[in-house]
Amino acid sequence: MPHLDEPEEEGEELTIARPRRSLLYIPGSSQKMLSKGIASGADTICLDIEDGVAASAKGLARKQIKAWLDTEMTKAPENMEICVRINAVSAGDVYNEDIEWLDTLDVVPHSIALPKMDSVHDFNTFLPILTKLEKKHKKNIELIGMIESPLAVINLPSILQESKSADNNHHHLSALIFGGDDYSAASGCIRTETNHELDFPRAMVQMHASAHGIGVLDIVCKEFKDPSRFKKESLISAQQGYIGRQCIHPSQIQHANDIYQPSNELFEWSSGVLAEFDTQTKAGVGAFTYHDAMIDMPTIKRAENILIRAKACGMVLKGDINGNGDGKQ
């Protein structure tokens, strides 16, 4: 699998080639949940050895995930990303056991999620392990870093810089995940229904990541029996530039897939704006009016970004199954 999210030059426009609208955690210790992963419909399934697995069941989880990779990986839909979450560098023995286990794999996942990536040290400790694994299997393995504490947020600019400079401006980090509950535990804030207590770190992580062209996945919603809350949170999150979110229940996946892609209205508006821009440019006009609003270059760029994302998610304009919408319907 190629690096679909090839990072861009610092400061360039954000383009997201691979959707990661939904990432479903599957505890490696549960054979039943593992068996349902491929049919889940998630953009990414994340086979977990970390916080979803009890200390006493981590050995079992590793054994079952290895077996799963051997037999199920080839059965996954072409666009589905298979990820494994190991334990944190700071976790000591269980991390070391994970590293030894990675070396025993015959089939490697598309990506590895590194939790509690609090510092450049954590990143640099794991990077050679990953690089070695890539060489051994002659495959790219993407790294998804988890930012889950005030310290991690504060160190994120340095981590991103390190990720970029470690290998000739090629970013090793393919995506980030913001972990709201670990952040809360470490910062002393109290989780609420509006998540206002996480506004600041969520925004800071998104800003720094987007400056490097790296997408971020948002917090989990643990109240899996409350889909309206999940949807409400996801909409806000998508507006704030998050590319998707973590799911802890299969029922959350479709909502995430729907919300983290451009709405049909936005998709059609973008097509319309770009068509009108074409016309106006030929006439030598700069800024122009469309649907009572002024359209200038920044808006044109936004419209282009929306089209790229919509197409990556497989969207087509209504009445235009070839995807060549004129945006005028």
Q: Exactly one of 2, 6, 13, 31 binds a second copy (CB under 8 A); which one?
A: 13
Q: Which amino acid is at 241?
A: G
Q: How far is CA 210 from the centre of its chain?
A: 12
Q: Residue 92, class by beta-carbon neighbours within 10 Å (0-12 exposed, 13-18 middle, 19+ buried)?
A: exposed
The yes or no reply on residue 293 touching a second copy (CB under 8 A) is: yes
Nearer to a second copy (CB atom), residue 111 or residue 261: 261
Q: Of 67 and 203, which CB lies nearer to a second copy in the complex structure? A: 203
Which is it for strands 293-295 and 288-290: parallel, antiparallel or unpaired?
antiparallel
Q: Does 315 bind a second copy (CB under 8 A)?
A: no
Q: Residue 127 interacts with a second copy (CB under 8 A)?
A: no
DSSP 80: P
Stretch 244-263 residues interacting with a second copy (CB under 8 A): 248-249
Examine residue 210 and tell whether it contacts a second copy (CB under 8 A).
yes
**Residue carrying the six token digits 């925004």:** 203
Q: Which is nearer to a second copy, 141 or 208 (CB)?
A: 208
Q: Which two tokens stand for residue 304?
A: 């282009």
When the beta carbons of 108 and 215 are compared against a second copy, the nearer one is 215
Q: Where does this chain touch a second copy (CB under 8 A) — which range of 92-100, 102-110, 169-177, 179-187?
A: 179-187
Q: Based on the shown chain and the rule CB under 8 A, indicate whether residue 302 belongs to the binding site for a second copy.
A: yes
Number of amino acids touching a second copy (CB under 8 A):
80
Q: Would you call 111 helix, strand, or coil by DSSP?
A: strand
- Contact between 225 and a second copy (CB under 8 A)? yes
How far is Cα 278 from Cα 226, in angstroms, rounded to an integer? 45
| Nearer to a second copy (CB atom), residue 121 or residue 139 | 121
Length of the chain: 329
Among 76, 140, 150, 229, binds a second copy (CB under 8 A): 150
What is the DSSP secondary structure assignment for residue 37, as one 8-state letter? Answer: S
* Buried-state track 272-302, b at ≥16 Cβ within 10 A, e below 16: bbbbbbeebeeeeeeebebeeeebeeebbeb
**Is 23 in contact with 43 (CB distance < 8 Å)?**
yes
Beta carbon nearer to a second copy, 14 or 38: 14
Task: Give the separation between CA 144 and CA 177, rounded to whole angstroms.
Answer: 7
Exactly one of 71, 106, 135, 284 binds a second copy (CB under 8 A); that residue is 284
Q: Is 177 in the site for a second copy (CB under 8 A)?
A: no
Check binding of 324 to a second copy (CB under 8 A): no
- Interface segment toward a second copy; rule CB under 8 A; list 6-14, 67-75, 100-108, 135-143: 6-14
Can residue 17 be called a binding residue for a second copy (CB under 8 A)? no
Residue choice 1, 133, 266, 316 for contact with a second copy (CB under 8 A):
266
Determine, following the binding rule CB under 8 A, whether residue 161 of this chain makes contact with a second copy: no
Any contact of residue 67 with a second copy (CB under 8 A)? Answer: no
Q: Which of 80, 238, 256, 312 is close enough to bind a second copy by CB under 8 A? A: 238
| Residues in contact with 71: Cβ distance below 8 Å, sequence separation at least 6, in sequence order | none
Q: Tell me the CA end-to-end span of the chain in Å, nearest whole number.
A: 37
Q: Are 28 and 64 in contact (CB under 8 A)?
A: yes
Within 40-59, the residues that bind a second copy by CB under 8 A are 50-57
